[in-house]
Every structure is written in structure tokens, then in C-alpha cells.
Amino acid sequence: MKNKVNQMKIEKDMTVKQLAKAMSDSGVMGAGRIGKAVEVFEKILEEKQKNKKTGKEDCKLFFGLAGAMVPGGMKEIIHDMLISGTIDVFVTTGANLTHDLIEGLGYNHFKGNADVDDAELNKKGIDRIYDSFMPNNVYEGLEGFFEKIFDELPKEMNIRELLWEIGKRAPKNTILHICYEKQIPIFCPAISDSGIGLMIWGNLEKGKKLKVDVFDDLKEISRLAWDAKKPAVLYVGGGVPKNYIQQAMQFSPNAAAFGIQITTDRVEPGGSSGAELREGISWGKLNKNALFADVRCDATIALPLIWASVKK
Amino acid sequence: MKNKVNQMKIEKDMTVKQLAKAMSDSGVMGAGRIGKAVEVFEKILEEKQKNKKTGKEDCKLFFGLAGAMVPGGMKEIIHDMLISGTIDVFVTTGANLTHDLIEGLGYNHFKGNADVDDAELNKKGIDRIYDSFMPNNVYEGLEGFFEKIFDELPKEMNIRELLWEIGKRAPKNTILHICYEKQIPIFCPAISDSGIGLMIWGNLEKGKKLKVDVFDDLKEISRLAWDAKKPAVLYVGGGVPKNYIQQAMQFSPNAAAFGIQITTDRVEPGGSSGAELREGISWGKLNKNALFADVRCDATIALPLIWASVKK
Amino acid sequence: MKNKVNQMKIEKDMTVKQLAKAMSDSGVMGAGRIGKAVEVFEKILEEKQKNKKTGKEDCKLFFGLAGAMVPGGMKEIIHDMLISGTIDVFVTTGANLTHDLIEGLGYNHFKGNADVDDAELNKKGIDRIYDSFMPNNVYEGLEGFFEKIFDELPKEMNIRELLWEIGKRAPKNTILHICYEKQIPIFCPAISDSGIGLMIWGNLEKGKKLKVDVFDDLKEISRLAWDAKKPAVLYVGGGVPKNYIQQAMQFSPNAAAFGIQITTDRVEPGGSSGAELREGISWGKLNKNALFADVRCDATIALPLIWASVKK
Amino acid sequence: MKNKVNQMKIEKDMTVKQLAKAMSDSGVMGAGRIGKAVEVFEKILEEKQKNKKTGKEDCKLFFGLAGAMVPGGMKEIIHDMLISGTIDVFVTTGANLTHDLIEGLGYNHFKGNADVDDAELNKKGIDRIYDSFMPNNVYEGLEGFFEKIFDELPKEMNIRELLWEIGKRAPKNTILHICYEKQIPIFCPAISDSGIGLMIWGNLEKGKKLKVDVFDDLKEISRLAWDAKKPAVLYVGGGVPKNYIQQAMQFSPNAAAFGIQITTDRVEPGGSSGAELREGISWGKLNKNALFADVRCDATIALPLIWASVKK
């Protein structure tokens, strides 16, 4: 017992960075974990700065993002993390790519309410995502977009290539376009499980052709993991994105050297989404000497707080 | 206020079915939801009985299963649900298929402990899934199996076809074999995110050929949803399996008429995994007159309890 | 790794006891904890049987009960545990005593719904406890009861004495009466925080006299803990009841030798309600060699399941 | 659907207040609730400013605080809220008062770790509160303090009076002293369930006299609630503190006009700690037109964030 819990002091008009510092100095419970996450993130950014000097890509940040992040107001933060060069490899769900594309096409999500009559919403053509509402007519916009670009797409690809090809043709302020533009490898193993998947299926039903291989880009993420001497992982919301990065870590020579996780899922049921980062050490997914922080918090609270603390 | 909370009475040596009846009669809180789930399940089974008489497949049960269910001791229950004809369409994660195949190949999961030194486990070659342990050498068994069968596989397929092809060659007491044998359509959109995915990738790396399309079986699950006049859904653990069925429901003329969900995920962060079934009404995924039960409970507790109550 | 996860097998019409045995044989995740809890409970009952033979009260079961257990349908189970001699010392919240007394006075809780307009309920005189409804006129019944008995009560007591005195005059099928009748020590440190507290306050406001000391029965629970060579603890729902027993354990020579906890509260925020039983070892509240099970589950599901498994 | 989800924009070195504004503008999921809580808190502070002008105490803020807040680094924030005149009525647990007094007496809590051998900690005399450690010798300090002051205490009091009397004699930088000094009514119904309770009991065991009535201060909190035309409530961590304020609201003519709740407890098990604020409308605890925010988040994260956003 050497380090005391420094009771947090709040100052008028303090910055988020100062708040995170106070949380780190306190060092316990949820606040301590936020503070630790900021420390780990700073360290990752430092390591990435070294990359620039050495010209080697020793530290790469793999970002796995699940959950209703775009309906939940996190879109600009994700764009910012991608545009700023913070993220080197991006893995996400089809849902986030779809909702982001929808906003890129000019639609919006709206402040709603969870205590509503869902049958009423259905009549009005409103889709509910907890307390975020989306007009059902976004699907027309999506259809129009895919009808327009479908014939231009190469006829045979892997999923990562498909995402870049769509991104090339997508509105500028979308995750897909940003990843294409900045050549950030983007993975979405369950892409068929999304609005984008449905749009592609719709075109296939019309007799058009497109073959997208489900295993082919495994070699790409594996190589990215293999080449990084000090890989860093950031998991928000568990799901396939977390697990897909975890398995890349497991079968590469270097397990993750840095880790941050944000989730509200429980540890006790044993699933990957709620599993502690620490568990990854047994599998060789996380280095036993890794610096890591396991934040159990709503991501729409924790992610902005952490990002506002480390943003340069 | 017509129906009073019938305070639960426990009898010595009562059956699980009797316990579930008492929970249903109580009708509130978690117990009430278990009771309701059993009622809904009974109703689904009744509807499926009617199918047999009419020769029509009006009621089909779509089962979406995520979470560490095989390491968590649920394997036999899943097999039983498949073999007994309870499940008509099965959607799951690559992880469950992998862990199930591993057991089929003769390996086991072991009772472990979450309060351990993961670095020690790593040294000993033990992979931890919360308090369930797995020897890391299972990967040799998996490799051997895929090496043996790989050349026999058709060279171009969709994911559902691939799963049946693997199932055809898998040990009898596996989910994959049972689904093949009983011709139960089985979907796993994120199959690349699993040990099975890695094994296939390993063979591709050796220069072998296999093309598996990620979108092609969307037409199959869509048709299955389309053809069912009274589809029923059972979601355990959220994730891609739940969402994949949800979107099939959304774009078919008949939304789900019956629904059961078991999860510990929270509603408030807004993600699909924790979302209330009720939310699906707004999207047209669940019929506004549907009979449904939303059980917030560890699936390794709730699923056996419910299954033991309805098993014929 | 010696003990494999025995995949649970479900049989038609199996008993709850058999289900719990299967959960115990599986031994992992939530089911494993239920199974373990049943094992620990069986062991406690065995030890209590030994008491009878030796004439010594070596093993005493301290039961701390919080949460909306009576509105949640658990009333008969609690009565049963008290009447059967299973519980030696009972600590609970004023809310449970109040709701139980309300039912004893002839009122009921009703099956309701959480997705309602609470302002509408308020107009109709209905109080909501999640999805359990209670007519607001129960307070008239409570008032009548306390008006009738108040003058008979001794004028100066501690809380445990007060509860027995009320119990003496309460309807037979109430926790309070059962505890009085069977002379089970019953503690409720925050009794003023309840409908019963309000009723007493109402009589004091009318100028009647009653002095109830808040610290005096600490000596009684301390002595009960002190005298038990192998105390056992059962905590449902955390709160004051858990903590009050925990501190009795901390300052007695024998920390708890057996422990069962049922809660859905989280470990991470650090509060006593969600704290792992294991944590008590550091404080001397739990013996380092204790047999214990930490069940993370809705109590209205876990408690009936466990009780049905051990009831003689 | 009028108000769109304004995707949050993060700026370098932004203040916490600006972050909370962005969360409010986003308006959905957890972030939206934090944003709403800040808005409600601002409104409460405005109303309290009006009090100063009118000389009437129309808006009073009742603060119910539970959970391991002092071991969790929240001590200074609580002191600050009390000293600044933000809190008009304070209800808390004996544990928080005890841990705060312990720090006031010169002891500390220390940054620890939850993944430890609790038997080892016990040997070393360390008490664990999740990942916060406390040396067990604090009890000697507590004993010394109470031995010194015990004989000076009035011999008969209610709990609120006792807390002020202890506060009068307590170190300056403690909750108890601050409440005494600023004459803030402080309630702790379950005071016997705490280290302070144990210390008093210890002195009673030595034959000293002290009578503390458990019901007497109900009249005080009731009057405080009765007199406030626009009561405001702030609940952190549920438990007795929340419920004690809730019942004061229920039986006063004016239900709460403003409400903020911070908790990680679940809604579904039905207990008061996890219950939605909205539920209080049915009981008449919350005004149907009240402005309120229900934050589901670790309090050590949410409380500093909210306080830093509203602190003047």
C-alpha cells in the first residue's frame, strides 16, 4: 500500500484532460479505470510518434467498434479518430457502417424516447434504436446509392476490398470514404448482417453479379498483426469486432502490448464481449506485460471523455 | 389490476415444469419473465404441431445463439433442441461451432476459476473462458480435422453450404453434423471470426483453393423468413445471430409472431444485443400482436430451466 | 485441469433438484454458481442437523434479504424458510416487512407492466414496483392496524424487540408474526425507512409515545455471531441486510464458514451490495476456508430454484 | 422527430462543461442522460438562486448518497457540494460517514487491486473495497476518537442530532463536521450498520449510556420535504438514502420537481435502488411534470463529470 487514493478535486471550468488526470490520481473504481485508459491511450500515441521517427510501424492501433455508435452520437468522434491517423486498423459492425452511410447520404437520427408505443412508431415509419429514432425511408436512400454504384464495383473481391470500393464512391463524410481515402484497412466480417448487406443482396436478387469472399481478408488482418511489434487494441462494445482482432493477436508472434476496452457487458456469463482484457493473457492475445485498462461504462460516456483527454 | 401476484409456493421434489408454472403464476420480475418464456415456448411448440397436421410450415423457430455456450455447458441442450426438431433455422457464432467441434473431436472444457494468474495459464497452455478452461492443444486437433477434409470440400459455396459440407464430415455428436444430417439450415455470417475460420485460412495460406461467398446465403434465410406465416424467434446472447434473424424478419411480410430473448446485456447503451424485443415492433421485426418474453438472465441458468420445462 | 465441464443433460419432467445437480456437474458460468449454491446450502443444512444431535448451536444461518421480494412473489418462500427452521437470524429491509404485512392484512400485489404511463397509474391510485402493482389504499389498512396495536406496545424497546412486539399482534401469515412465534431474532436497522416507520411516526405525531433505540440490538446480533462456531450467511439483494450481517461476522471470533450470495449488482462500482463474497476474506467477514457461492442472478429466479433444490 | 442527434464534436482541451453540452446536444443513450442531468442540475441551481432573492426556501436539494464513495475517491466532491451550499438535506450510509471520518482522522485509502489473494490481505491487515485498500488499524483511530468524545455526548437524541454532535467534535475536513458547521440536516437511518455504529456499541458494552431514537428524526425530514415547494432530489447509488428521501417526498404535498439519479443497478429485478425515477410518479414521489435524468453509470465517473459541469 504505497499509493493513496487522491480524493478527486473538481475545479470550475476545468478541462476534460484535467478531469481525467484527477480520475487517474484517484486511481480506483470506474474513475480509476477511465484515468488508466487515458494513460494507456497517451502511451499508444507516444509509441506511434516513435514510429514516425523510425519509419517503422512498430505500434499499430487496432480499433474494434460495436454497438449503436452512430445512432448514439459517436459518428464525429470515430471520423476524427480515423482522419487524425490515430487508428491504423478498423474493425466494425455492418450496422455502424450502414447508419454512418445513412447520415452521409443526408439523413439523420433523432432524439427519441424509449418509453413509447412501438406499434405507433411503426405506423409512422420510425425505427427505434433505444431512445434514438430513424425514419424508415432511409432505406430508399440506401437503395438509390447502391443502385447507382453497383455496376461499377469489381465483380470479385474480399470484404475489405469491397468496403474500400464502396468507400471510394461514398459521400466524403463517411467512415467508408475516410478509410478508402486514407487507405485504412477496414474489416467487417459479418457485413451480410446489415443494411449494406441487404442492399447488395437486393441487387443480386435482380440478377446482378458480385462475389465477395468471406475468408480472404483474414490474411490481411493477420499480416497487419504479424508486422506490428507492439500492437495496441481498443475495443468498444465487444461483439465480432473485438473477437476478430483478438484472434489476429492470438496467432501473431506479438500479442497486444497495449489495450483499452469499453463495455457495459458483464464478465460473469463468460462471453467474449464482456470478458476482461486480462483473460486474453492466457490465450496469448494480450502480452503479460501489457499496459491495459478495462472500462466498464456506457461507451457514449467513456469514449468522448477519453478522446477529449488525449486529442492533440 | 385483475391478476394478483400469486406468491410462489415451493414443494419438495417439484419438477422444473412445476417451478416454471409457479413462476408464471407469480408473473412479475425475473421469475415472471421465465414463466412467460415457458408459456411462449409451449405455444410455439403447439403451432409447430399444427404444422405437422396441415403439412404447411407456418410456424418456424429461428434460433440465434451467441455467447460462450459450449464452454458454458450448454452443448447437449443445443444438440437436443436441434435433434428433437424444435429448431427450424439455426444462426450462431463461429466460436460456438468451433468449441462444439473441439468437443466432438474428443477434447473437453474444464472447470476452472476466474481468479487466476493468466500468465501462469498461458505458460501451461490453458486458454481461459471466464471460469472454463480449454487446453490450447485443441488447435492441433482442429488442424488435423481440416487438413483431412479440406480437399474434399467443393471449391465454391456460400457459408450455409460450407457449414453443411463440414458437418457431413464432422463427428456425429456435433452441431454441424446434426444440422447436416437433419438438413437444418445453419447460418454463421461471421464464420471467418472463429477457429474454424482460422483453419480454413491456414489451408488457403498453403495454396489450397476455396471460395466462400459472404452474401449468397442471405437469399436462403430471407426465403425461410418469407415462407413462414408465423415465424418464431429465440435469441440467446444477442450479437450477430440475433441481428441476422432480426433483419430477416424486418424484410419479410410476416414479422415474428412469437419471441423469446435471454440476455444479461443492458438496454440503456442502445446496442442490438441488449435491445428489448418490444423495440422490434417499431422496425417491423416483431408483430405488434406477438407473444413474447424478454428474459434478463444468465443463459446458462435460464436456458436449461426453460428447456427442462417444455421438453416433451 | 482435472474436472471436465459435464455438458448439462435435460430430461423430460426432471425435478428442480436434478436440474441443480446437472448445473453443479457442469460447474461453470452462472449455472455452475447455482449448482455450487445448492451444494453449499445442503452442507449448511447438514451442519444444522449436527446441531440437533450435539445440542450445540454451532452452525447458524444468518439470512440478509433486500430487494422487492414480496412484491416480486417471494413471500411464501421466505415464510417457508423461516417456519421450517432453516433461518436462525433474519435481517431485512422495512420495505419487505411492510409489503408482507400488507399482504397479511388482506391486500395483494398485482401483475402489472413497466411500460405504462405512471401519471395515469397515479390518478388511479396504483403504486408501481417495476411490473408489480399495489393499490395505494393499502396505507389505510396499515394505519388501521397500527392504530389498533400502538397503545399496547411497550414504550421503550430496541428494534428487534419492536419487531417481535408488532409480530405478536400481526396476522399469522406474516414474516413478523412467524419470527415472533418461532422466536427468530429479526433485525431491521433502517426500520424508519419504510411504511412501518411512517405509521409509527404518524402515531408519534399524534402525541403518542414510543422510544426505539437504534443501537441497542447490535449487542444481540453480535452475540448471535459470537456464539456460532460455524456461522453461515445467505445474502439476497445486498443493501443494509447484507452489510449488517457482514459487520457482525467481522467482529466475531468466527468469520462465516459458509456463504451464499444472490444479486444482480455489479462488482465494479465497489459498493457492498455488489461486492464479491471473496472480498470478505480480507476483512475477516468470511473464513478463508469457507465454502461459498456467488450467484449473479435475479433473485426471483435463483432463490426459488435453489430453495426447491434443497427443501426437505 | 424534430430534434436531430447532433453528433458529438470533441475539441482539443475542451472543458468538461463543453463536453457535457455536446452530450446534451447529442441527446441520446448514456451521453444524453449525462447531458440531461447537467441541465437539470443547472435548473436546480437557478431555482436555489431564486430562493436567495425571495428569501423563501422553495427549492431544496435532497441528496441521497450510497455506495463506496469515499474509498472511491469522491470525498472532496461531497465536501465541496456541502460547503458550497448546493446540498440542503443530506442522507447517506454509515459506511460513507465512517470512511470519511477515518480519512479525517488522518488515515488513507490506497490504490489496490481486485485480483488479489484476500487471505494474504487479511494476514497483512488490509481490508479490501473492490480495488481500494484500507489498513485495518483505522479501527484503532476510530476507537480513540469515540472514547475521547463519548462522555461529552448528550445522553438522549435522535440520529440527526447524534450526527451533528459527533460532527461538532469531528475533524474539520469531514462530512460530519461540515454538516454540523453549516447546519445541514444529515440523516442516516441505518447508522447502526457501520463502523460508527460499532464504536458506539463498543462504548455501550463498557456500561456507558446513550439512547438514540430511530424514528424521531422522521419528523424533521418530513418537515423539510413538506416546506419545500419545489423539492429537488439527487440519488447516487440507491439504497436506504434514496428510499428515505423517496418516502419523504411521497408523503409531502409537493412531490419532487427535479430529479437526478446515478446508479449501475438494474431496473429489472424491481428493487428501489435500480428503479427508474419515472416509477416515482405513480407513487407521488416525483411530480408528473418534473424535470429529471436517470443516469445509468458508475458514480465515480458520472458524478465528477456532472459536478465539474455545474460547479460555479
pLDDT (tens digit per residue) in B97-149: 999 999 999 999 999 999 999 999 999 999 999 999 999 999 999 999 999 99
Using CB atoms, which residue from D130, D213, D298 is nearest to C275?
D130
User: Residue D212 — pLDDT band, cuts 50, 70, 90?
Assistant: very high
* Cell numbers standing for residue C273: 451490495
pTM for this structure? Answer: 0.97
Alpha helix segments (H runs only) across chain A = 16-26, 29-54, 75-83, 94-104, 118-124, 138-150, 159-169, 175-181, 195-205, 218-227, 239-250, 279-283, 299-310
pLDDT at res. C114: 96
pLDDT at C57: 79
Is the pLDDT reported for residue C52 higher than 90? Answer: no
List, as ranges, residues 50-79 from A with C-beta within 8 Å of B. 66-68, 71-72
Beta strands in A264-303 (DSSP E): 286-296
Point out the residues of B that are catalytic.
285
- What is the percent of chain C where pLDDT is above 90? 96
Dihedral Cα B196, B199, B200, B202, nearest 10 deg: 160
Is the Cβ pair A28, D3 closer than 8 Å? no
Assess whether pLDDT exceeds 90 at residue D68: yes
Structure confidence by residue, pLDDT tens digits, A284-303: 999 999 999 999 999 999 99
| pLDDT higher at A2 or C162 | C162
pLDDT of residue D82: 98
C-alpha angle with apex B220: B216 to B223, nearest 5 degrees?
Answer: 135
Task: Give the pLDDT band of residue B57 (cuts 50, 70, 90).
Answer: confident
pLDDT above 90 for D85: yes
Q: Are C147 and B43 in contact (CB under 8 A)?
A: no
Contact C68, B32 (CB under 8 A): no
Q: Is the pLDDT of residue D296 over 90?
A: yes
C103 pLDDT more than 90 = yes
Please give the full DSSP string across chain C, using - where no structure is assigned: --SB-------TT-BHHHHHHHHHHH-SHHHHHHHHHHHHHHHHHHHHHHHHHH------EEEEE-SSTTTTT-HHHHHHHHHTT--SEEEE-HHHHHHHHHHHTT---EE--SSS-HHHHHHHTEEEETTEEEETTHHHHHHHHHHHHHTTS-SEEEHHHHHHHHHHHS-TTSHHHHHHHTT--EE-TTTTSSHHHHHHHHHHHTT---EEESSTTHHHHHHHHHH-SS-EEEEES-HHHHHHHHHHHHTSSS-EEEEEEEE---STT--TTT--TTHHHHHTSEEEEEEEEEEES-HHHHHHHHHHHH--
Instruction: Round to whole Å and give the CA distance between C66 and A39.
Output: 39
Q: What is the pLDDT of residues A48-81, one digit of tens each?
A: 999 888 888 789 999 999 999 999 999 999 999 9
How do residues A190-200 score in pLDDT, each as one tens digit?
999 999 999 99
Q: Looking at residue B53, what is its pLDDT?
A: 86
Question: What pLDDT score was predicted for residue C301?
Answer: 98
> Which chain A residue shows the shortest CA-CA distance from C294?
A268
Amino acid present at D293: A
User: Using one digit for the tens of pLDDT, what is the confidence trace for C188-230?
Assistant: 999 999 999 999 999 999 999 999 999 999 999 999 999 999 9
In Å, how far is D247's CA from the nearest CA of chain B?
Answer: 22
Nearest to A59 by CA among A78, A46, A75: A46
Question: C142-175 as b/e, with b when 16 or more CB fall inside 10 Å?
Answer: beebbeebbeebeeebbbbbbbbbbbebbeeebb
Q: Is A268 part of the contact surface with chain C (CB cutoff 8 Å)?
A: yes
Instruction: Using pLDDT thresholds of 50, 70 and 90, give the confidence band for residue C1.
Output: confident
Give the percent of chain C with pLDDT over 70: 100
Cross-chain Cβ contact C72/B299 below 8 Å: no
The whole-angstrom distance between residue D225's C-alpha and the CA centroid of its chain comes to 17
Between the CA atoms of A128, B62, A95 and A45, what dihedral angle is there, to the nearest 10 degrees?
120
Interface partners of chain C (CB pairs < 8 Å, 3 or more) are: A, B, D
pLDDT at D53 over 90: no
Q: What residues have CB less than 8 Å from B279, skipping those under 6 apart?
A: A118, A128, A129, A130
pLDDT of B180: 98
The rounded percent of chain A whose pLDDT value lies above 70 is 100
Q: Are B170 and B133 in contact (CB under 8 A)?
A: no
User: SS3 for A109?
Assistant: coil
Q: How far apart are CA A218 and CA A93, in angstroms?
A: 16
| Per-residue model confidence (pLDDT) at position A56 | 82
Chain A residue closest in CA terms to B71: A270
Res A22: pLDDT? 98
Mean pLDDT of C226-245: 97
Q: Which residues of A are less than 8 Å from B282 in CB distance?
A: 118-119, 121-122, 126-128
CATH of D16-310, one of 2.40.70.10, 3.30.1300.10, 3.30.390.30, 3.40.910.10: 3.40.910.10
Of C7, C81, C20, C305, the closest CA to residue B34 belongs to: C305
**A270–C29 CB contact, under 8 Å:** yes
Which of B29, B268, B296 is opposite residue D296, by nearest beta carbon? B268
B214, containing H or E segment: none
Over residues A88-106, the mean pLDDT reads 98
pLDDT tens-digit series, residues B190-244: 999 999 999 999 999 999 999 999 999 999 999 999 999 999 999 999 999 999 9
Strands A156-158 and A211-213: parallel
Average pLDDT across chain B, whole number: 97
Q: Find all residues with CB under 8 Å of C135, minimum gap 6, and list them.
A: B1, C107, C110, C125, C126, C127
Mark which residues 190-249 of B lie under 8 Å from C by CB.
none
What is the model's pLDDT at position B52? 83
* Strand pairing report for C132-135 and C110-111: antiparallel
Q: Which residue of B has its CA nearest to D294?
A: B268
Q: What is the pLDDT of residue B202?
A: 96
Q: Is B131 on the interface with A (CB under 8 A)?
A: yes
Q: How many CA atoms lie within 13 A of D230 on its CB side?
A: 19
Contact flag B122-A288 (C-beta cutoff 8 Å):
yes
Cell of A291: 499496459
Which residues of chain A lie closer than 8 angstroms to C268, CB-CB?
29-30, 33, 296
Which chain D residues are closer than 8 Å to B302 by Cβ?
none
What is d(CA B189, CA B48) in angstroms, rounded to the nearest whole number? 27
Q: What is the pLDDT of residue A54?
A: 85
Collapsed DSSP state (helix, strand, coil) of residue D65: strand
Tens digits of residue pLDDT in D266-275: 999 999 999 9
Convert the pLDDT of each residue in C241-252 to its tens digit.
999 999 999 999
| CA–CA separation, C118 and D288 (whole Å) | 8
**Three-state secondary-structure class, residue A80:** helix
* Residue D266 touches chain B, beta carbons under 8 Å: yes
Instruction: State residue B56's pLDDT score.
Output: 82
Predicted pLDDT at B46: 97
At B54 the pLDDT is 85
- Identify the band that residue B89 occupies on the pLDDT scale cut at 50, 70 and 90: very high
Tell me, what's the ipTM? 0.96
The interface residues of chain A toward chain D in range 2-21, judged by CB-CB distance below 8 A, are: 2-17, 19
- The per-residue pLDDT of chain C, averaged, comes to 97
**pLDDT of amino acid C55:** 82
Residue C311 annotated among the catalytic residues of the structure: no
Q: Looking at the predicted structure, is the pLDDT value of residue C8 above 90?
A: yes
Section A96-102 average pLDDT:
98
